[in-house]
């Protein structure tokens, strides 16, 4: 009779673990680390191979960041039509407005202009105006400070088609220095350490390659390994 018992790896599965589901193990250290980074005002890039548990972890963040400090919102970039800044920004702002209204207990929706603005070229101005409107109604936490709204963006690499648009240049200040809004992005590329050295060509006149995260921000990067302790990169 064998003295050993085979215990299946809890991270191996066909589908991501949904938000709030039991059976999510050994990611507490990453959660605490990300929570501390967000408190310090940083954005975060979550990187790992396919089936490493990135989406499951974003689902975990969606539930466990929902305190009086943060308002987390999950956006799947795979569900956004490529090269449509208006649709992507409209998705971000609409979900934010819905979640804030829910947080403050409002039965009236917060009207946003970004999803319907015409012509499309005015979408950036509309998004900035909508952000200021949302900023004004952000609830206060127990310390009397405004809650931080956190966009959790999954499959960030699917937005590569946006490289030739102004989207990432526009979002960079939001990710780097806005006091009330932050990003946690997840993807399978080592977006920061790999892409930063090749973000510019030798003439320094244009972006080249797929420097998607560097156009957006220079986030803290966390590398997730399937079924093993996580490696944290400062």
The answer to whether position 22 is within a domain reads: no
Whole-angstrom distance, CA of residue 33 vs CA of residue 38: 9
Query: Higher confidence at residue 38 or residue 189?
Result: 38
The answer to whether position 75 is within a domain reads: yes
Q: How confident is the model at residue 109, as a pLDDT?
A: 82
The answer to whether position 121 is within a domain reads: yes
What pLDDT digit, counting tens, does each position of 84-122 carry?
888 889 999 999 999 999 999 988 889 999 999 998 889
CATH number, residue 84: 3.40.50.300
The answer to whether position 96 is within a domain reads: yes
The answer to whether position 171 is within a domain reads: yes
Mean pLDDT of 7-19: 52
Q: How far is CA 78 from the centre of its chain?
A: 13
The answer to whether position 108 is within a domain reads: yes
What residues make up the domain containing 207? 28-229
The answer to whether position 20 is within a domain reads: no
* Residue 13 reports pLDDT greater than 70: no
The pTM of the full predicted model, rounded to 2 decimals, is 0.73
DSSP state letter for 231: E
How many structural domains comprise the chain? 1
The answer to whether position 210 is within a domain reads: yes
């Amino acid at each position: 009779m064998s003295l050993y018992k085979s215990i299946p790896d809890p991270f191996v599965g066909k589908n991501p673990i949904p938000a709030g589901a039991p059976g999510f193990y050994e990611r507490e250290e990453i959660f605490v680390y990300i929570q501390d980074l967000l408190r310090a005002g940083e954005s975060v890039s979550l990187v790992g191979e396919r089936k490493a548990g990135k989406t499951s972890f974003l689902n975990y963040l969606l539930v466990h960041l929902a305190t009086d400090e943060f308002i987390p919102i999950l956006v799947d970039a795979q569900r956004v039509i490529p090269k449509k800044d208006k649709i992507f920004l409209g998705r971000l702002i609409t979900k934010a407005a819905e979640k804030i209204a829910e947080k403050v207990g409002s039965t009236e929706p917060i009207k946003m202009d970004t999803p319907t603005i015409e012509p499309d070229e005015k979408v950036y101005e509309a998004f900035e105006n909508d952000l200021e409107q949302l900023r004004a109604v952000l609830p206060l936490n127990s310390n009397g400070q405004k809650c931080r709204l956190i966009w959790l963006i999954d499959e960030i690499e699917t937005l590569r088609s946006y490289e030739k648009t102004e989207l990432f240049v526009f979002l960079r200040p939001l990710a780097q220095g806005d006091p009330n809004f932050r990003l946690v992005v997840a993807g399978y590329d080592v977006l920061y350490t790999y892409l930063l050295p090749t973000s510019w060509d030798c003439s320094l006149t244009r972006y080249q390659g797929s420097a998607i995260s560097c156009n957006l921000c220079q986030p803290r990067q966390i590398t997730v390994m399937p079924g093993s302790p996580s490696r944290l990169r400062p």
